[in-house]
Structure 1
Amino acid sequence: MNSTDTSIGRTRDADPADFAHVDTWVFDLDNTLYPRRTDLFSQIDARMTDYVAELLSVPRDEAKAVQKGFYRQYGTTLRGLMEVHGIDPDAFLAYVHNIDYSWLAPNPELGAEIAALPGRKFIFTNGDRGHAERTARQLGIFEHFEDVFDIVAAGLIPKPAAETYDKFMGLHRIDTARAAMFEDLARNLEVPKRLGMRTVLIVPENFETALGDAWEHEGREGAHIDFVTDDLTAFLRRIRAAA
């Protein structure tokens, strides 16, 4: 494993041999299959704030604080709203994912690299299936995936809960010793690493943390992170020689 120090953080580049054994490729969706700089998730974030503000009849700034508190404590805002306020998850998911997907440009280069990976490919997201499909179709990469494992399939229990990974692995009969997972949140890679998977953290370009909450970027130097990259397409191109 090679490492390159930067003024802001550290990137770790893969050697193709590190992935020669991998035949199952698992990708998070938001800020992983598309770069954080596109800021698509800001639309969902804003709609979650609106939902909380209306539900609790509070100003948006107060609703934002509640929303982010639930996200950090429960893994998703949805889970927190269910636990504390007993909301209808289907209505919430439909509302927050009613966004403009034209913000995403098709990415045929990424599609080609995913298609060239040997074996099975999955999307594993804390969002819902409809959002995952619309996102992946807009990117032009949906056809390369065997399935989407979404928050509904997870029984509405989000990553990083260990039971959610177990459910995903069991459903698709995945040999974790032969699998790799790509994620933008370091905490969501702790369980995969314990299960024996290769772990790849996707970080914003140049380690820019202006978008999103600072705590989301905590843990990127942890031992559970095998590799770090700010360019998923280039990373996959480098390791594809292992195929």
Structure 2
Amino acid sequence: MSNPLGAGLNDRFSHIDTWVFDLDNTLYPQTADLWPKIDARITLFMMRLFGLDAISLRALQKHYYLRYGTTLRGLMIEHEVEAEAYLEFVHDIDRSSLEHNHSLAEAIAALPGRKLILTNGSRHHATATAKQLGIDHLFEDIFDIIAADFIAKPEEAAYERFFERLKVDPARSVLFEDIPRNLLVPHRRGMTTVLVLPAAGEAVEREAWEVARGDEPHVDFVTDDLVGFLETLGR
């Protein structure tokens, strides 16, 4: 699955000069504990905001996540929550469980052209996480939820802001993502799309609508081994 086209894979990417990566559950393994930690902090934030228990709020948290792309967007629109305070709170997590990924760093470094991170999280979270992985120095820029004016993937406006502000030509770019619906607009705009799945045999806790099949028409390539996929391209 990680290299479905063998030696012909490079030809399909020969036009690419901009490599765009989602952060959470894409640049680090989906079995890592970072996203569950963030998810728990989101619940705790809402508990303090509404004064309700976690069980009562989980459904609302996931409703906002599905409807608006992020729970934050829902809280901003429906409850006028201050975004900066929310982002600082939910991303205040221990990242020490992540180790430097030297193979990933070498694979990204070997790619020709610009490397960017496109995330629904904050720049601080992306920088801290990439630094923990040992890959922060490889990226030209990070386009975060603040740069997107708090409009989250998969909304088309989020990508339009990304293309415009970072001067990205979709037709010469590729996006690596772990959530299929976040690849729909990029594919429509001409980006090459790569869906990153959990490694074979790994059980990952996800929402039902997040579970990817890999056969979605807006997904050009599928891999369960990001490093292996990138190493092929780097060659």
Q: TM-score range by the shorter chain?
A: over 0.9
Q: Deviations over 1:129-172 (max 9, x none)?
A: 00000000000001010000000000000001111101111112
Do structure 1's residue 41 and structure 2's residue 41 form an aligned pair?
Answer: no
- Mapped to 2, the partners of 1:101 and 1:172 lie a distance apart of 28
How far the C-alpha of 1:218 sits from its partner, in A, is 4.4
Partner residue, 1:227: 221
The within-5 A match list for 1:84-163 is 84-163=78-157
Partner residue, 1:53: 47
- Mapped to 1, the partners of 2:98 and 2:204 lie a distance apart of 20
- Mapped to 2, the partners of 1:150 and 1:207 lie a distance apart of 31
Q: Deviations over 1:157-189 (max 9, x none)?
A: 000111110111111211111110000000000
Q: Deviations over 1:178-204 (max 9, x none)?
A: 110000000000111011111000111
In structure 2, what residue type is equivalent to 1:158? A
Count of matched residue positions in the alignment of Structure 1 and Structure 2: 232
- Mapped to 1, the partners of 2:168 and 2:162 lie a distance apart of 8
- Mapped to 2, the partners of 1:68 and 1:60 lie a distance apart of 12
User: For the Cα contact (< 8 Å) 1:207–1:230, is it kept in 2?
Assistant: no
SS at match of 2:104: helix
SS at match of 1:92: helix
User: For the Cα contact (< 8 Å) 2:31–2:202, is it kept in 1?
Assistant: no
Specify every segment of 5 or more residues in structure 1 that has no aligned partner in the other structure, as ranges: 5-10
Partner residue, 2:167: 173
SS at match of 1:37: coil
SS at match of 2:12: helix
How far the C-alpha of 1:17 sits from its partner, in A, is 0.9
Please, what TM-score do these two structures have when normalized by structure 1? 0.92
Moved over 4 A (4+): none
Partner residue, 1:13: 4
* Backbone CA RMSD of aligned residues: 1.4
User: For the Cα contact (< 8 Å) 2:3–2:228, is it kept in 1?
Assistant: no
How far the C-alpha of 1:39 sits from its partner, in A, is 2.3
% identical equivalent positions? 49
Partner residue, 1:194: 188
Q: Deviations over 1:96-150 (max 9, x none)?
A: 0000010111101100110110000000000000000000000000101000000
How far the C-alpha of 1:59 sits from its partner, in A, is 1.0
In structure 2, what residue type is equivalent to 1:40? L
